[in-house]
Structure 1
Amino acid sequence: MHMSPRGHFHRVLYQGWICSYILISEPYCRSLPEDPFLECFESIGDFDIRVRPPYSEAVNRAISDHHAAIAGGQLLKLPFTTIFEYLQILQMAALSMRTLGPNAMFYLAAAVSDFYVPWESMAEHKIQSGSGPLDMRLVQVPKMLSVLKKEWTPLAFCISFKLETDTKILLEKADMALKKYKMHMVVANELSTRKEEVTVVSPSGKIPVHRDKTQPGSDVEKPLIELIVDRHSVHVKECGT
């Protein structure tokens, strides 16, 4: 079960197209430590802080890129906490982008909860420990990818992600998701190697994507995004003919 205590829904203007990203972490922060405020900064007085030298370049780049995107109207962050908020935001964003047709892209990278507690089953007040053992029944989260593709934004370019710890079933499940939900691409991640390589599953075949190990500080996201942009361009042209 993938639990997301807090995520962000992002709308990004990329090369003239509107792209919606649903992510768990903040954009521009992947080069920072997982606990950036505690690791990157240090106190130099009662009211002042400064960036620790090992992180100065990464922090400066993250802050500059973030503010540039905000100032340029290229990034809109809509925070969500619960699965109820997530599904509502997804629907509103999809319907608002419907008029963009094939120019719209959904990059669904958030590890959303697989199970949840239905609203009507939630306790109204704090559960008392003296009540004895606690039994909780979780319900499977509705699969909304098919609704997104068929009803909300039928012409949008949609990419979903599949994360597994067992490589033996990863590609099989990614292929099943591609066919079941009519995605244009499914990015297959294996937990232990996801930062080094992924496999993009599409109707035309499986494409391995690797981090460029000859470039210091490189990650797998750059070649992955380049591939997605290329395929999206083809999608836009095909829909226009």
Structure 2
Amino acid sequence: MAVDPSIAAQAEAAARRSEEAAEAFFRAAPPLRDRDRVAASLNDFVARHSAGSGGVGGPAGVICITSGGTTVPLEQRCVRYIDNFSSGQRGAAATEYFLKAGYAVIFIHRRGSKQPYCRFLPEDSFLDLFELGEDSEIQVPQSHSAVVKAAISNYRKAIHEGLLLKLPFTTIFEYLQLLQMVATSMNCLGHRGMFFLAAAVSDFYVPWESMAKHKIESAVGPLNMQLNQVPKMLFILRKNWAPSAFCVSFKLETDPNILLQKAEMALKKYGMNVVVANELANYKDVVVMVTSSGRTTVSRSSKEEDLEKQLTELLVKMHSEHITQPSS
């Protein structure tokens, strides 16, 4: 079917604007701390797993999982910032299940958010997991010993086998620079690369060059500040950074009446393989996987079961089918 030249021209112009906005964002962003060290560890990790084929020969694939919310600083020497809602629970849980499925995982996570194998830690204090024995030795109560032993064993196994690389971020600037680094590094993996983009990414930000250098004085009265839109990097990732990878993004809404429509739009606009639609009111219990071939509802059957277990199983199957497709 012929494509209307005017529509094609509009799409090309929109793509060019997105790329220019992304380039401008990165040019103005403050440099990522320890960039050289991060790049070295990242390139080494990808190189070690680039020839794997699953099973004994290597991991089933390499997946980048993003987790937690980004912050938007209001000052360069930041005291105040705008935060994004996300505990990191979904990304941490998915990391565990993808590791179990045989993947090597690059875990881009918000500092202080939930971590794989540590999701069971008490919210108030991890000290609740320990007690003092008769000779003041530290021990784990019998009620928690099984889960703690399993967590330590699984975590040590992932680290020992070199299957988990953790890269922390706090700000929107750090997150997007890390995502770009990881995606371009993973481009060599082709179809074996996968992205599970569960981080809650800020839609608006204060450009670094127009940001106050020091703490904004409250004595000046009401604060009027204009926020710029964060460039839509999903399109750039899909088009330039890692075009052959299998990409899963997430769409969270508070209004169920627009959720699936927004997910469908994201699927087409950014070229995602899957968009996982979740509503704020019940995102822990049910999601809808939106693909070009239809919708699949995923629910957890009990409060003790992680929804991410079923979600991961479905995505692993879909990614396996993606891997067998010929490269374009």
Q: Same fold (TM over 0.5)?
A: yes
Q: Shorter-normalised TM-score: what interval?
A: 0.7 to 0.9
Native 8 Å contact 2:288 2:295 kept in 1: yes
What's the counterpart of residue 237 of structure 1? 324
Structure 2 equivalent of residue 227 of structure 1? 314
Shift of 1:128: 2.2
**Using a 3 Å threshold, how does the CA distance of structure 1 residues 17 and 218 change in structure 2: closer, same or farther?**
closer
Q: TM-score, normalization: structure 1?
A: 0.85
Q: Please, which of 84, 88, 98 is the counterpart of residue 3 of structure 1?
A: 84
Q: Which runs of structure 2 are paired with 1:98-177 in the superposition (5 Å)?
A: 98-177=187-266
Identify unmatched segments of 5+ residues in structure 2. 1-81
- Tell me which amino acid in the other structure corresponds to 1:149: R
What is aligned with 1:218? 305
Structure 1 unaligned runs (5+)? none
Task: Name the CA shift for 1:51/1:115 in 2 (closer, same or farther; >3 Å).
Answer: farther
Answer whether contact 2:106 2:165 (CA < 8 A) is retained: no
Aligned to 1:184: 273
Larger Rg: 2
Task: State the secondary structure of the residue aligned to 2:269.
Answer: helix
Supply the distance in 1 between the matched residues of 2:87 and 2:307 (Cα, whole angstroms).
Answer: 24
**What SS does structure 2 have at the residue aligned with 1:77?**
strand
- CA distance 1:181–1:89, change in 2 (3 Å): same
Residues 22 and 108 in structure 1, CA contact (< 8 A), matched pair in contact too: no
Specify the code of the residue in structure 2 equivalent to 1:200: M
Equivalent in 152, 156, 160 of residue 63 of structure 1: 152
Per-residue Cα deviation, 1:178-197 (whole angstroms, up to 9, x for no partner): 01000000111111221211
Structure 1 pair 64/19, CA: closer, same or farther in 2 (3 Å)? closer
Q: Structure 1 residues 164, 49: CA separation in 2 closer, same or farther (over 3 Å shift)?
A: farther
Native 8 Å contact 1:102 1:157 kept in 2: yes
Matched position secondary structure for 1:239: coil
SS in 1 for 2:281: helix
Amino acid at match of 2:317: D
Matches within 5 A, 1:13-32: 18-24=104-110, 25-32=114-121
Distance 1:131 1:151 in 2: 45
Kindly report the root-mean-square deviation, in angstroms, between the aligned alpha carbons of the 2 structures.
3.0
Deviation, 1:71, is: 1.2
Is the 2:117–2:155 Cα contact (8 Å) retained in structure 1?
A: yes
In the alignment, the residues of structure 2 paired with residue 50 and residue 131 of structure 1 have an alpha-carbon distance, to the nearest angstrom, of 54
More strand by share: 1
